Amino acid sequence: MSYQVLASKWRPRLFSEMVGQEHVLRALINALNNSRVHHAFLFTGTRGVGKTTVARILAKSLNCEQGVSAQPCGQCSACQAIDAGKFVDLIEVDAASRTKVEDTRELLDNVQYSPALGRYKIYLIDEVHMLSTHSFNALLKTLEEPPGHVKFLLATTDPQKLPVTILSRCLQFNLKRIPLDSIRDYLSAVLEKEKIVQPSLEAVTAIARAADGSMRDALSLLDQALAYCNQQLNESEVHAMLGTVKQDYLNQLLLCLAQADAAGMCKLIEQMSQAAPDYNLLLDDLVSLLHRVALAQFAPDAVDDWYEDRQQLLALAERIPEEDIQLYYQIALHGRRDLPLAPDPRTGFEMVMLRMLAFTPAGPADGPAARRRAPAGTPAAASAEPAAASSARSPAVASDRSGDQPSASADPATYWVQLTQAMNLSGPTRQLANFCTLSEHSDDRLVLALDPKYQHICNDMSQKRLADALQQVLGREIKLEILLQTPAQETPVQRQQRAKQEQHLQAVAAIEQDATVQELQTIFDATIKPELVQAIGTKEDE
């Protein structure tokens, strides 16, 4: 007996066996059960999502010898003939190979005759958008007023190419891409029925992801993988077949980024290159991983566990700042666009990763552009922080930066401002520090006060990063406590706002006292609008 491919062997024979497409099945089942079946149906969607499968099951439901229903028996001669593709009253046409108007006219010449064996004569036209304009015109009249014994089932991957006159005469159903987890579960069930022993979950997930929403593609890839792996679904061999890499490699790449480890990252890319991966797919997988890490940072409960790497994912989310993940995501997206322009795919991928390593998001004090990041301990890193903290925006802020190191002998408000500037924070951690005041401090303990109305910015991750930054600046282990209470002193944000107001008042006064301005007021009866006056150097600080 010849081998039957999995895509044909496990093609659904009933509506209840279909995976997904509930929105389509519900309408068809209700129509069949209530005997309200339209004469023309149009099924649209990408390849392999079940268009012709739904059409064949509908044909069985209409011609089953047990009667019209949403549950064909599957045992009568009509059902078995349709499953075998031998039912004389189911005329399947591939419009891609029969585009001429003569072919369409020849097909429709027999519409007027009653079905030979079944209850209905059914025309199943696949890729109907390939018909010519004249063919559509020939079909139109019959499609509008067909005999009562005829049903038209049309399928296409490109409904935009169909004339509106055809669309208006059909009930249109759009079949969606099948979700990844549904494909994976179905493949696992098929492997169990095929008696494949202990298939790798990551291998099954990799096949489901490569299928891109198409169940037929997934079953075809599974067939190929079983042949490649000699009936043992092995993780590394499936990745080699697909041109992808193990998920653990991508997790390690992100870890190298978090550690600014360029040598380790290049070594990983060298190891991955031994499997000759498809670098376009590799970037796609990296984008998906960055999306999952971002979810873990903001909505941990929404994180999937397809690769059983949830703990690794949460650890990466804890280790890499949220703003870095967002920048990496944008760099990876642009890298996908630029990859064809690289001398070779591996070079393009390496440059994308090095670009991630070279840049970090700009904080509020860094200006609109991203600034370069150098590994800790290098001359570039040593000079970066003083440079970022060197510009004085106002007299009050300038006085806080008069010393190279924070002075514990200063008043608590000034000391805390000096500490926040020395830490060179960014993102949510910077925001938390700027809204706190220093209540108590000793050699091994700092107590901060945060207004209760800002408690939403005080999460465990920001608090931990703030404590780590304090320990790095002070050079000793510090226990940090943040109390939700009304601050008794001026916060860094309030101090900066007060300094800007003072500078603005000084600028307004200087303009009002300027002799030229006073002369213009006299000549033109002009007035000064204080709200439009801007002190030099304040625009970029906002």
Could you tell me the pLDDT band of residue 456, with boundaries at 50, 70 and 90? confident
Q: How far apart are CA 58 and CA 14, in angstroms?
A: 9
pLDDT for residue 538 is more than 50: no
pLDDT for residue 446 is more than 70: yes
Report whether 286 contacts 292 (CB < 8 A).
no
> The pTM is what?
0.61
Question: Residues 259-273: what's their mean pLDDT?
Answer: 90
Could you tell me the pLDDT band of residue 383, with boundaries at 50, 70 and 90? very low
Could you tell me the pLDDT band of residue 306, with boundaries at 50, 70 and 90? low
Residue 1 pLDDT: 52
Residue 201 pLDDT: 86
Residue 374 pLDDT: 42
230/41: higher pLDDT: 41
Residue 366 pLDDT: 44
The CATH number of domain 395-494 is 3.30.300.150: yes
* Range scoring the smallest mean pLDDT among 4-8, 207-211, 410-414, 537-541: 537-541
Q: Where in the chain is the domain with CATH 1.20.272.10?
A: 247-360
Residue 360 pLDDT: 64
Residue 29's H or E segment, with its range, is helix 22-33
Query: Architecture of domain 247-360 in CATH?
Result: Up-down Bundle (1.20)
Q: Give the amino acid at 182.
A: S
| Dihedral over Cα of 11, 13, 19, 20: its sign | positive
Which residue in 33, 87, 36, 31 sits closest to 59, CA to CA?
A: 87
pLDDT for residue 191 is more than 90: yes
Q: How far apart are CA 386 and CA 399, in angstroms?
A: 16
pLDDT (tens digit, 9 = 90+) per residue, 159-186? 999 999 999 999 999 999 999 889 999 9
Q: Where in the chain is the domain with CATH 1.10.8.60?
A: 180-242
10 Å CB burial of residue 402 (0-12, 13-18, 19+) is exposed
* Range scoring the smallest mean pLDDT among 60-64, 244-248, 483-487: 244-248
pLDDT for residue 110 is more than 90: no
Could you tell me what percent of the chain has a pLDDT over 90? 39
User: Could you tell me what percentage of the chain is helix, strand and coil, using 3-state DSSP and rounding each to the nearest 5?
Assistant: 55, 10, 35
Q: Give the amino acid at 249.
A: Y
Q: Where in the chain is the domain with CATH 3.30.300.150?
A: 395-494
CATH of 180-242, one of 3.10.100.10, 3.30.70.380, 3.40.640.10, 1.10.8.60: 1.10.8.60
Question: Residues 113-137: what's their mean pLDDT?
Answer: 89
Which residue in 150, 136, 145, 141 sits closest to 37, CA to CA?
A: 150
197/7: higher pLDDT: 7
Residue 287 pLDDT: 93
The CATH number of domain 6-174 is 2.30.30.30: no
Could you tell me the pLDDT band of residue 13, with boundaries at 50, 70 and 90? very high
Residue 390 pLDDT: 37
Q: Where in the chain is the domain with CATH 3.40.50.300?
A: 6-174
186/385: higher pLDDT: 186
Residue 391 pLDDT: 36
- Mean pLDDT is highest, among 108-112, 286-290, 400-404, for 286-290
Residue spans of alpha helices (H) in 243-299: 247-258, 262-273, 279-298
pLDDT (tens digit, 9 = 90+) per residue, 21-40? 899 999 999 999 998 999 99
Residue 270 pLDDT: 92
pLDDT (tens digit, 9 = 90+) per residue, 228-254? 988 888 888 898 898 888 888 898 999
What is the radius of gyration, based on Cα positions, of the chain? 34
pLDDT for residue 423 is more than 50: yes
pLDDT for residue 377 is more than 90: no
CA distances from 166 to 96, 101, 129, 170, 448 (A): 17, 16, 10, 7, 71
Q: Give the amino acid at 469.
A: A
pLDDT for residue 219 is more than 60: yes
Residue 361 pLDDT: 62
pLDDT for residue 199 is more than 90: no
pLDDT for residue 437 is more than 90: yes
Q: Give per-residue burial for 89-111: e unless 16+ CB within 10 Å, then b.
A: bbebbebeebeebebbeebbeee
Residue 304 pLDDT: 74
Q: Give the amino acid at 39.
A: H
pLDDT (tens digit, 9 = 90+) per residue, 389-408? 333 333 344 444 444 467 77
pLDDT (tens digit, 9 = 90+) per residue, 340-373? 999 999 999 999 999 998 886 654 444 433 444 4
